[in-house]
């Protein structure tokens, strides 16, 4: 990325040689990203990240198809980049059906099919959930959606938010069958503030960011050359090491789950036990609030998070855990641990020890240990 901040600073949309140098770098990056997705370079639209890609996917497809249908199907466990875009579309007159997952966090293809109406134009289901890591059966969902669209001779655009899956699952757009797919570079060790939207050829799309003719008129604005270059190299590297990283993380994840389950009573693993990303563990500990647990972990040098959005004053209950049928107090007190391939078994053991001690201490402080 470095040369594109300084000596190679040309604008990729300019005619002069410095601009053409940047253009070449952006084109190469587009080819690299397309290769990982098994897509054509022309089907890659660079964006400012996952949020923009999700917003553009939902709104761009819904608006383009509004004459043919104004119904959108999505799920209750999507990231807010999708949920809030769907809400905005509702305010603009679209109808949205929010499908619930099962207790295990999996959205069934049958439930998506049941939500389709003759007016459905867009379906958006994430590839892997950001809180629980639960992996959704996207290929099976797409297969049903497309079969119905073909039978009824209409268009239903299928989008998946693959932001959390990158680096751990295959992003082959033909195997997934999707028309639109969102990625965010910082989720696979790339720079922050850059992402992409894969857009299958001929997908109906009305651009929501308008102005210049960049990205073949699908996303206006001067290209973020250093970010795009950095993302493409990171995506290529993440994909090349995907299986090795997944295998390493799986060992660490299973060690974390086993250690926590063995050491802490009333610990509940949220989400399907195996149908989840290899780097995700999400626990609820009965009678323990997430906030002091997170603070204690931070003091001990462990960077963890709660599944829910933490503000200074309160911890919002997780919409994902609520959608999975958990009561609000449980949805407010989940702990999410995401080991990476660079972590070690010793670090995992340290985390298990630290979490176990903290849970014990917090329960003792609040007098909420279980009475036998």
Ligand X SMILES: Cc1ncc(COP(=O)(O)O)c(C=O)c1O
Q: Do 334 and 306 meet the contact criterion of CB atoms below 8 Å apart?
A: yes
Whichever of 159 and 363 has its CB closer to ligand X, that residue is 159
Give the single-character DSSP code of 243. Answer: H
Element of type H or E holding 213 = none
Give the list of residues 6+ apart from residue 345 with CB closer than 8 angstroms, or none. Answer: 251, 252, 255
**Binding status of residue 184 toward ligand X by CB under 6 A:** yes
C-alpha distance across the termini of the chain, in Å: 60
Count the alpha carbons within 13 Å of 220 in the hemisphere toward its beta carbon.
8
Stretch that binds ligand X, among 44-52, 102-110, 238-246, 304-312 (CB under 6 A): 44-52
Min dist CB 82 to ligand X, Å, is 7
Site string for ligand X, 91-120 (x = CB under 6 A): ------------------------------
Count the alpha carbons within 13 Å of 65 in the hemisphere toward its beta carbon.
28
Q: Which residues of 269-296 are buried (b: 16+ CB within 10 A; e: fewer)?
A: bbbbeeebbbbbbbbbbbebbbeebbeb
Per-residue DSSP letters for 137-188? -HHHHHHHHHHHHHHTT---EEEEE-TTTTTTS---HHHHT-SEEEEEGGGG
Whichever of 307 and 317 has its CB closer to ligand X, that residue is 307
Out of 59, 163, 180, 277, the only residue in the binding site for ligand X (CB under 6 A) is 163
Out of 22, 37, 77, 81, the only residue in the binding site for ligand X (CB under 6 A) is 81
- Catalytic annotation present for 33: no
Out of 60, 190, 195, 271, the only residue in the binding site for ligand X (CB under 6 A) is 195
Out of 70, 132, 164, 279, the only residue in the binding site for ligand X (CB under 6 A) is 164
- Gap between the Cα atoms of 291 and 293, Å rounded: 5
**Binding status of residue 58 toward ligand X by CB under 6 A:** no
Indicate which residue of 240, 247, 299, 310 is catalytic.
Answer: 310
Whichever of 231 and 293 has its CB closer to ligand X, that residue is 231
Give the interface size with ligand X as a residue count (CB under 6 A). Answer: 13
**Binding status of residue 223 toward ligand X by CB under 6 A:** no
Min dist CB 185 to ligand X, Å, is 8
Whichever of 195 and 317 has its CB closer to ligand X, that residue is 195
Min dist CB 20 to ligand X, Å, is 29
Closest C-alpha to 268, from 315, 340, 338, 324: 324
Name the residue with the smallest CB distance to ligand X.
Answer: 50
Out of 51, 121, 245, 284, the only residue in the binding site for ligand X (CB under 6 A) is 51
- Gap between the Cα atoms of 305 and 281, Å rounded: 11
Q: Do 87 and 37 meet the contact criterion of CB atoms below 8 Å apart?
A: no
Q: Is 303 left (phi over 0), alpha (psi -120 to 50) or beta?
A: beta
- Residue 20: beta bridge partners? none
SS3 letters across 285-304: ECCCCHHHHHHHHHHCCCCC
Out of 43, 161, 215, 239, the only residue in the binding site for ligand X (CB under 6 A) is 161
Out of 50, 60, 207, 307, the only residue in the binding site for ligand X (CB under 6 A) is 50
Whichever of 11 and 305 has its CB closer to ligand X, that residue is 305
Residue in this structure with the two tokens 């629980």, named with its chain if needed: 132
Min dist CB 319 to ligand X, Å, is 13
Out of 23, 32, 71, 79, the only residue in the binding site for ligand X (CB under 6 A) is 79
What residue ranges bind ligand X (CB under 6 A)? 49-51, 54, 79, 81, 126, 130, 161, 163-164, 184, 195
Residues marked as catalytic: 310
């Amino acid at each position: 990325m470095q040369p594109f901040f300084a000596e190679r600073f040309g604008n990729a949309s300019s005619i002069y040689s410095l601009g053409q140098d940047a253009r070449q770098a952006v084109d190469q990056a587009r080819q690299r990203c397309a290769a990982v997705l098994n897509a054509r370079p022309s089907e890659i639209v660079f964006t400012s990240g996952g949020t923009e890609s999700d917003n553009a996917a939902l709104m761009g497809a819904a608006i383009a198809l509004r004459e043919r249908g104004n119904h959108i199907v999505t799920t209750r466990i999507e990231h807010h980049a999708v949920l809030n875009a769907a809400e905005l579309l509702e305010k603009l007159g679209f109808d949205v059906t929010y499908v619930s997952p099962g207790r295990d966090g999996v959205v069934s293809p049958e439930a998506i099919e049941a939500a389709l109406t003759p007016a459905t134009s867009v379906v958006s289901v994430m590839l892997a959930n950001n809180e629980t890591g639960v992996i959704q059966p996207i290929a099976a969902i797409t297969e049903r959606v497309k079969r119905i669209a073909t039978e009824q001779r209409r268009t239903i655009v299928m989008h998946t938010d693959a932001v959390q899956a990158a680096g751990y699952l295959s992003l082959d757009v033909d195997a997934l069958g999707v028309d639109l797919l969102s990625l965010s570079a910082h989720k696979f060790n790339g720079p922050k503030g850059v992402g992409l939207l894969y857009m299958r050829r001929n997908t109906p799309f009305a651009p929501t960011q308008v102005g210049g003719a960049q990205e073949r008129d699908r996303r206006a604005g001067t290209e973020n050359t250093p970010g795009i270059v950095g993302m493409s190299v990171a995506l290529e590297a993440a994909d090349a090491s995907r299986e090795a990283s997944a295998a390493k993380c799986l060992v660490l994840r299973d060690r974390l789950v086993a250690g926590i389950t063995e050491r802490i009573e009333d610990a509940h693993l949220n989400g399907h036990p195996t149908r989840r990303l290899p780097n995700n563990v999400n626990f609820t500990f009965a009678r323990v609030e997430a906030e002091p647990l997170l603070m204690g972990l931070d003091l001990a040098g462990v960077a963890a998070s709660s599944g829910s959005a933490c503000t200074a004053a309160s911890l919002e209950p997780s919409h994902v855990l609520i959608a999975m049928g958990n009561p609000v107090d449980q949805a407010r007190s989940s702990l999410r641990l995401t080991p990476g391939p660079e972590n070690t078994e010793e670090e995992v053991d340290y985390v298990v020890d630290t979490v176990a001690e903290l849970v014990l201490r917090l329960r003792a402080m609040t007098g909420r240990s279980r009475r036998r």
